[in-house]
Amino acid sequence: MPKRELMEFGCALSGGTAVNQSGDPWWPVITMFGVLPVVVILIGVGFIIFGGVGVLAGVGVLRRKRWARGLTIVLAGLVLLSCGAVLADTSGLTAVDVITTVAQAGYGVFALVALARHGAEFRRPPSGPP
């Protein structure tokens, strides 16, 4: 990693307080006294974790694991809740917001219906002789 990118990364982690090249007196307010970059990084890490759990659940569903079915149902429910939260506050929504939210809600409904209809595929066969 070149030196400049390393300095910019350190500046972002410290909330911009490490290097204030602008000399702007509003710099601490703009960066929320160093809290804003930390909050943005934490939100990003949360999205990465949620995505990783989704990939894990998807691989488990493809392998017909029972735990993956339950995990996917929970994730689909969370997606539907988040879509409802987005659509509940209609102030400032654009057409792209609505289309994206409806697509995500469609995924959530599809996942729930598909897992409900094919639930028998996730049950273990009875052990022992028939």
Residue span of the structural domain in which 93 resides: 36-122
Q: Mind listing the pLDDT tens digit for each residue in 89-114?
A: 878 888 888 899 899 899 899 999 99
Does this model's pTM top 0.75? My answer is no
Neighbours of 13 (CB within 10 A): 13
Give the number of domains in the chain: 1
What pLDDT score does 32 carry? 67
Q: What is the pLDDT of residue 113?
A: 92
Give a yes or no: residue 7 inside a domain: no
CA-CA-CA-CA torsion for 17, 18, 19, 24, nearest 10 degrees?
20
For residue 49, give Cα distances in angstroms to 46, 53, 98. 5, 6, 25
Other C-beta atoms lying within 10 Å of the C-beta of residue 16: 20
Asked, for residue 66, whether it belongs to a domain, the answer is yes
Evaluate whether residue 84 is within a structural domain: yes
Confirm whether 108 is domain-assigned. Answer: yes
The yes-or-no verdict on residue 20 having pLDDT over 90 is no
Q: Which two tokens stand for residue 45?
A: 């890490």
DSSP for 5-59 reads HHHHHHHHHTTT-S---S--TTHHHHTGGGHHHHHHHHHHHHHHHHHHHHHHHHH
Q: Give a yes or no: residue 100 inside a domain.
A: yes
Q: Quick: pLDDT tens for 21-67.
A: 566 666 666 666 677 777 888 999 999 999 999 999 999 999 989 99
- Residue 111 in any domain: the answer is yes
- Is 6 within a domain? no
pLDDT at 71: 94
Residue 70 contacts by C-beta under 8 Å, 6 or more apart in sequence?
Answer: none
Domain contains 127: no
